[in-house]
């Protein structure tokens, strides 16, 4: 029932309880599942970061051993990339995209649920490695031949390889789902160039996902085969080339960073216009830039390999392409600034985080452009200078963008606003903490401190800056505690939001907060890019559906299939073939049952 007083967590009274969540195929619930799970993994990754920073707070420190430290930075990176940022973005893909395009759900709801469960089980699988004292320890990029069986005989890298293969399945499935959804499930009148920018960025991101993940899948399969079956892909003795891994990894890895940033850019492109009360400046250009970034992102991967000896021609080519990709990125920045210029700016927390994104991402972009020059990069690579760069773009950029999205869309998802005072504390403390944590890293790096070392000598002269960085990291943690408190308080007792607390322009603000199961009482007919701001108003959406709307029930086959997949991974890491085969049988069986069960998608 779509009334303004529907304030509970988004489910009808007949669909509550654990089982309804396990079998849900509702994109809104799946979005919340992604969001909560991702946030928990984000905190775990954050804890790993705090331990890293505590160890590095003083030279010659002995808080953790070198081996533990290797596990900490490997898991920090792997967790933040695959278990925090990507699924946090997915939370918004899931919840918001169908609403923005005027759809009732995604194209393949059960496949959607499957993606989530595979992600969760994959993340748990990766972290289960800690329980057996064998967390991955070869860096998030797993370079061979350090990660080959010869030099990494334990289970650590097995967990890593299998975990990433499993997570890749989740991402690919979601990729196909959202591509079809965005192309095919748009409401009448919602032409492609009327799509909200967030939805556009989602589409481009998914195209990158389905093209880049196969490449790393192949690279990982080679490593897995080497480790399990003794193949020679990365074997020097057999004439193999260790650079093959690096090429395959970074062919995926560079597009991956655009997977990480484009959704946040999409969020910023929604938040800025709303709180400037002004349409996005240069909508078409912003969309084309996003597409260009996605496409050009395929041409720069070897800038991660400037120090391996590719030769002057390769170095020059990749240096040039890397510099070129700064152009569409810069274009977006100017369009965002022009959006705010002359607007009636409201400094809500969401807006602050969006503006923070721009500022911090520009800093990260500047250090990035510095890396694009191969001779300069020879000094910067593998030092803390790169750590500074990546945290400015990924924390200062992606994470801030995602927080902007949380403050912006939390009211839509829960029917209540997050507290603005606490939000501002969260923002400013984060801003302080992040700059204290990451800015000194530019200097630490240029002074010669390498990455991924568990300690350093006092003679290097970076002691104070490391300490400052550690303090900054802890300030970020404090800010997060404020945020968590805000969420906990506001979920049930926050100020009631209503359909449209921000006077937004796009379709999600036309329906109640939280939306009813079926989203729209009638599928809207869209007449402009900014349905709620345009002079030609679209027909109002009735409060009550004119005829009963059938919403598909849940299904447990996605969960069972996901269990089959993780069973195969578990069997592999346990070197128990029978578990692999049994789980494979479960997977095949569940796919058949899934295919033939009556389900009105």
3-class SS at 478?
helix
> Is 568 near other proteins (CB under 8 A)?
no
Residue with tokens 């946030």: 39
> Is 214 near other proteins (CB under 8 A)?
yes
3-class SS at 491?
helix
> Is 314 near other proteins (CB under 8 A)?
yes
Of 33, 144, 169, 185, the one binding other proteins by CB under 8 A: 185
**439: which residues sit within 8 A by CB, 6+ positions away?**
388
Nearer to other proteins, 314 or 446 (CB): 314
Nearer to other proteins, 575 or 592 (CB): 592
Q: Which helix (H) or strand (E) holds 561?
A: helix 557-573
Of 14, 17, 311, 598, the one binding other proteins by CB under 8 A: 311
Of 128, 285, 370, 523, the one binding other proteins by CB under 8 A: 523
Nearer to other proteins, 105 or 377 (CB): 105
Nearer to other proteins, 19 or 575 (CB): 575
Residue span 97-126 as binding mask against other proteins, x where in contact by CB under 8 A, dash where not = -------x--xx------------------
CB contact at 8 A, 188 and 107: no
The Cα 58–Cα 462 span in angstroms is 9
The Cα 210–Cα 205 span in angstroms is 9
> CA distances (Å), 121 to each of 115, 164, 174, in order?
10, 11, 15
> Helix axis angle, 557-573 relative to 577-596, nearest 10°?
170
> Is 528 near other proteins (CB under 8 A)?
no
Residue 502 CB, shortest distance to other proteins, in Å, is: 27
**66: which residues sit within 8 A by CB, 6+ positions away?**
454, 455
Residue 64 CB, shortest distance to other proteins, in Å, is: 37
Residue 306 CB, shortest distance to other proteins, in Å, is: 13
The Cα 24–Cα 425 span in angstroms is 36
Residue 374 CB, shortest distance to other proteins, in Å, is: 13
Of 32, 96, 310, 487, the one binding other proteins by CB under 8 A: 310
Stretch that binds other proteins, among 35-43, 123-131, 172-180, 421-429 (CB under 8 A): 172-180
Of 57, 83, 118, 251, the one binding other proteins by CB under 8 A: 251
The Cα 32–Cα 377 span in angstroms is 41
Nearer to other proteins, 225 or 334 (CB): 225
The Cα 88–Cα 69 span in angstroms is 26
> Is 362 near other proteins (CB under 8 A)?
no
The Cα 27–Cα 92 span in angstroms is 10
Three-state SS for 205-217 is HHHHHHHHHHHHH
> Is 16 near other proteins (CB under 8 A)?
no
Residue 315 CB, shortest distance to other proteins, in Å, is: 9
Nearer to other proteins, 477 or 522 (CB): 522
Nearer to other proteins, 244 or 338 (CB): 244
Output b/e per residue, 96-122; b: 16+ Cβ within 10 A. Answer: bbbbbbbbbbbbbbbbbbbbbbbbbbb
- Using alpha carbons, select from 506, 484, 502 the residue that is nearest to residue 347: 502
Residue span 454-493 as binding mask against other proteins, x where in contact by CB under 8 A, dash where not = ----------------------------------------
Number of residues forming the site for other proteins (CB under 8 A): 57
The Cα 230–Cα 248 span in angstroms is 20
- Using alpha carbons, select from 259, 79, 87 the residue that is nearest to residue 170: 87
Residues 220-239 that bind other proteins (CB under 8 A): 221-222, 225, 229-233, 237-239
Q: Is the peptide bond before 145 cis (omega within 30 degrees of 0)?
A: yes
Nearer to other proteins, 342 or 542 (CB): 542
3-class SS at 156?
helix
The Cα 24–Cα 553 span in angstroms is 7
Nearer to other proteins, 27 or 416 (CB): 27
Of 291, 522, 527, 586, the one binding other proteins by CB under 8 A: 522
Residue with tokens 């802890």: 474
Nearer to other proteins, 84 or 302 (CB): 302
Residues that bind other proteins (CB under 8 A): 104, 107-108, 172, 175-177, 179-180, 183-186, 188, 190, 210-215, 217-219, 221-222, 225, 229-233, 237-241, 243-244, 247-248, 251, 298, 302, 310-314, 522-523, 546, 549-550, 592, 600-601
């Amino acid at each position: 029932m779509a009334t303004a007083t529907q304030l509970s967590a988004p489910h009808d009274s007949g669909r509550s309880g654990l089982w309804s969540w396990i079998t849900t195929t509702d994109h809104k619930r799946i979005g919340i599942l992604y969001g909560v799970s991702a946030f928990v993994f984000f905190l775990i990754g954050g804890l790993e970061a705090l331990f890293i920073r505590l160890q590095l707070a003083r030279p010659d420190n002995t808080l953790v051993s070198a081996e533990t430290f290797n596990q900490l930075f490997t898991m920090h990176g792997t967790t933040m990339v695959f278990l925090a940022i990507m699924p946090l973005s997915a939370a918004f893909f899931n919840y918001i995209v169908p609403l923005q395009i005027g759809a009732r759900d995604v194209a393949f709801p059960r496949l959607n649920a499957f993606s989530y469960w595979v992600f969760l089980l994959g993340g748990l699988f990766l972290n289960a490695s800690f329980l057996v004292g064998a967390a991955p320890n070869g860096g998030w990029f797993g370079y061979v031949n350090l990660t080959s069986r010869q030099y990494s005989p334990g289970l650590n890298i097995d967990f890593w390889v299998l975990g990433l293969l499993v997570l890749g399945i989740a991402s690919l499935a979601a990729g196909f789902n959202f591509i079809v959804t965005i192309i095919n499930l748009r409401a009448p009148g919602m032409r492609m160039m009327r799509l909200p920018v967030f939805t556009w960025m989602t589409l481009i991101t998914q195209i990158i996902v389905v093209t880049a993940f196969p490449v790393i899948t192949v690279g990982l399969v080679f490593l897995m085969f080497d480790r399990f079956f003794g193949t020679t892909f990365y074997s020097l003795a057999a004439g193999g080339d260790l650079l093959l891994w690096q090429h395959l990894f970074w062919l995926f890895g560079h597009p991956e960073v655009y997977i990480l940033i484009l959704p946040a850019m999409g969020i910023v492109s929604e938040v800025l216009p709303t709180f400037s009360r002004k349409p996005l400046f240069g909508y078409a250009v912003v969309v084309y830039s996003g597409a260009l970034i996605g496409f050009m992102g395929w041409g720069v991967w070897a800038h991660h390999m400037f120090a391996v000896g590719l030769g002057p021609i390769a170095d020059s080519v990749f240096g040039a392409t890397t510099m070129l990709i700064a152009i569409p990125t810069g274009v977006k920045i100017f369009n965002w600034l022009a959006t705010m210029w002359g607007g009636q700016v409201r400094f809500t927390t969401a807006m602050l985080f969006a503006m923070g994104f721009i500022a911090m991402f520009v800093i990260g972009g500047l250090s990035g452009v510095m890396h694009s020059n191969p001779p300069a990069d020879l000094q910067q690579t593998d030092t803390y200078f790169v750590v500074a760069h990546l945290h400015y773009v990924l924390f200062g950029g992606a994470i801030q963008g995602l927080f902007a999205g949380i403050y912006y869309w939390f009211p839509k998802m829960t029917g209540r606003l997050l507290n603005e005072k606490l939000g501002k504390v969260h923002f400013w403390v984060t801003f302080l903490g992040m700059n204290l944590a990451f800015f000194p890293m530019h200097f630490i790096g240029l002074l010669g401190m390498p990455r991924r070392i568990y300690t350093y000598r006092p003679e290097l002269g970076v002691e104070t800056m490391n300490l400052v960085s550690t303090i900054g990291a802890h300030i970020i943690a404090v800010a997060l505690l404020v945020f968590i408190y805000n969420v906990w308080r506001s979920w049930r007792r926050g100020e009631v939001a209503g359909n449209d607390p921000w006077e937004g322009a796009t379709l999600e603000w036309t329906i109640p907060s939280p939306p009813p199961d079926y989203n729209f009482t009638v599928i809207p007919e869209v007449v402009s890019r900014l349905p709620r701001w345009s002079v030609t108003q679209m027909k109002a959406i009735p409060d009550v559906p004119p005829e009963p709307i059938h919403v598909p029930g849940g299904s447990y086959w996605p969960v069972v299939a996901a269990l089959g997949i993780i069973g195969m991974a578990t069997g592999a890491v346990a070197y128990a073939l029978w578990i692999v085969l049994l789980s494979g049988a479960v997977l095949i069986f569940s796919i058949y049952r899934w295919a033939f069960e009556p389900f009105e998608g």
